[in-house]
Amino acid sequence: MKRCACLALLLCLLLCGCGGTAQEQNMPLLILRYGENQPEDYPTTKAAEHFARLVEERTQGKICIRLYCNGELGDENQVFEQVQFGGIDMTRVSLGTLAEYHPEVEVLQLPFLYDDAEHMWRVLDGPIGEKFLTGTRQAGIIGLSWFDAGARSFYTRAPIEGLEDLRGLTIRVQESTLMSRMVELLGARPVQIPYNDVYSALQTAKIDGAENNWPSYAATGHYQAARYYLLDEHSRLPEMQIMSTVALDKIAEIDEDYVTIIRQCARECALYERELWLQAEGTAEELVRDYGCVVTTLTDTQLAEFRQAVQPMYEDYSDEQQALIQKIRDS
Ligand code: GCU
């Protein structure tokens, strides 16, 4: 009884903030919720943890970031919508998803746009990438930094060796108009399914295949249900670490310096993510090869067929966007 009363008193003191303000008690002034749809040991999740640590250290614990991974706060689209309205404070979003809400970024994820990863980073780390990060306010979000998500390739339940084998297959894509169009142009049938539901769709043969990067193929266990990986690397879909404008305004109200700290920590954790990403690509490839997955590379002629098939996507854009695409290609 006595013990209960003590606990009740302690709780009351904490709730009432007795004995000083949060500032004096060294308690967080703001707790931010960060949603991530990947598991704990995935590069983007580890980078988010690093971000949270940096922010906590540099604000002396005044801003605290709680990370929820494995899609605990919802699937990628649901979390993004919440971030737009301030229900969730932060996330990391694939451009495939972001482009549905903020079509300006669509050009950055066109198939076969970049020659390789270095080319993509030249674009994203330069003025073009910066312009896209700062241009997101109209979508209710603040772009903070770019994360790597490698290149995506197709994988299927049955053997596949080239473009002709894709014809007529049902392929899962993100909830993305652009990715659906790409799959259609490659002769297959796109089906939009949220990330966390793809494994069972593969297992129950609701779909014939899907497409993703090495670390996602491994982390989701898709490689166990779809053992044929066709290394066509059709798209590089970078990812953006974002914050709700509502959260940013709250932080600015407390202290403008905290906004600067958040931005700086986001950039630092993104560099860390890029390192982790490269390691994760290697580990994932090894894991799936050891498991016995069949990885097929394509000849230059076969790759040219893929490029040729998706060419009409490049014709869908205005003159201004065509000029931007050219600029990206020349970077
Ligand atoms: C990648 C990306 C996720 C995305 C997923 C998908 O794994 O990192 O954010 O949800 O692709 O294909 O849906």
Contact at 8 Å (CB) between 38 and 70? yes
Q: What is the pLDDT of residue 156?
A: 98
Q: What is the pLDDT of residues 213-264, one digit of tens each?
A: 999 999 999 999 999 999 999 999 999 999 999 999 999 999 999 999 999 9
Ligand 1 centroid–CA 94 distance in Å is: 6
Cα Rg of the chain (Å, integer): 22
Q: How far apart are the C-alpha atoms of 236 and 96, rounded to whole Å?
A: 10
Q: Is the pLDDT of residue 8 over 50?
A: no
Please name the residue whose Cα sits nearest to atom 1 of ligand 1: 216
Predicted confidence at residue 26, as pLDDT, reads 72
pTM score, two decimals?
A: 0.92
Atom from ligand 1 closest to the CA of residue 216: 7
Q: Which residues contact ligand 1 via a Cβ below 6 A?
A: 37, 76, 94, 149, 174, 195, 212, 216, 239
> Are 241 and 145 spatial neighbours (Cβ–Cβ below 8 Å)?
yes
pLDDT at 12 (0 to 100): 39
Distance 135 CA to ligand 1 centre (A): 22
For residues 60 and 67, what is the distance between their CA atoms, to the nearest angstrom? Answer: 18
Higher pLDDT, 7 or 42: 42
Query: 50 CA to middle of ligand 1, Å?
Result: 20
Q: Would you place residue 1 in the very low, low, confident or very high pLDDT band (cuts 50, 70, 90)?
A: very low
Same CATH fold assignment for domains 26-94+115-149+238-281 and 151-236+292-330: yes
Residue 138's pLDDT band (cuts 50, 70, 90) = confident
Q: Which of 9-13, 102-106, 295-299, 321-325 has the lowest mean pLDDT?
A: 9-13
**Candidate from 37, 182, 239, 276 with most ligand 1 atoms within 8 A of CB, to mutate:** 37
Which range is most confident: 21-25, 61-65, 314-318?
61-65
Residue 14 pLDDT > 70, yes or no? no
Spatial separation of the C-alpha atoms in residues 211 and 233, rounded to whole Å:
9
**CA atoms within 13 A of residue 156's CA, in its CB half-sphere:** 20
Does the structure show a pLDDT above 50 at 2? no
Q: Which CATH number fits domain 26-94+115-149+238-281: 3.90.105.10, 3.40.190.10, 3.40.50.2300, 3.40.190.170?
A: 3.40.190.170
- Ligand 1 centroid to Cα of residue 231, in Å, is 17
pLDDT of residue 317: 94
Using the predicted structure, report yes or no on whether residue 124 has a pLDDT greater than 80. yes
Q: Where are the beta strands (DSSP E) in the chain?
A: 30-35, 63-68, 90-94, 141-147, 151-156, 170-173, 189-192, 209-212, 228-236, 239-244, 294-297
Residue 206 vs residues 156, 160, 180, 194, 265: alpha-carbon distances, Å:
12, 18, 17, 14, 42
259 CA distance to ligand 1 middle (Å): 28
Confidence class for position 30, pLDDT limits 50, 70, 90: very high
* Choice from 195, 213, 222 to test ligand 1 binding pocket (greatest atom count within 8 A of CB): 195
For the chain, percent of residues with pLDDT exceeding 90: 91
**Alpha carbon nearest to ligand 1 atom 13, residue:** 195
Kindly report the protein residue whose alpha carbon is nearest to atom 6 of ligand 1. 195
Nearest CA to ligand 1 atom 11: 212
Contacts of 238 (CB under 8 A, 6+ apart): 95, 108, 109, 120, 124, 146, 147, 148, 149
What residues does each domain of the chain span?
26-94+115-149+238-281, 151-236+292-330
Residue 210 CA, closest ligand 1 atom number: 12
- Decide if pLDDT at 272 tops 90: yes
Residue-wise pLDDT for 175-191, tens only, equals 999 999 999 999 999 99
Collapsed DSSP state (helix, strand, coil) of residue 307:
helix
Q: Is the pLDDT of residue 4 over 70?
A: no
pLDDT digits (tens, 9 = 90+) for 65-86: 999 999 999 999 999 999 999 9
151-236+292-330: CATH superfamily? Bacterial extracellular solute-binding protein, family 7 (3.40.190.170)
Give residue 167 CA to ligand 1 midpoint distance, Å: 24
Mean pLDDT of the chain: 93
Cβ pair 229, 289 in contact under 8 A: no
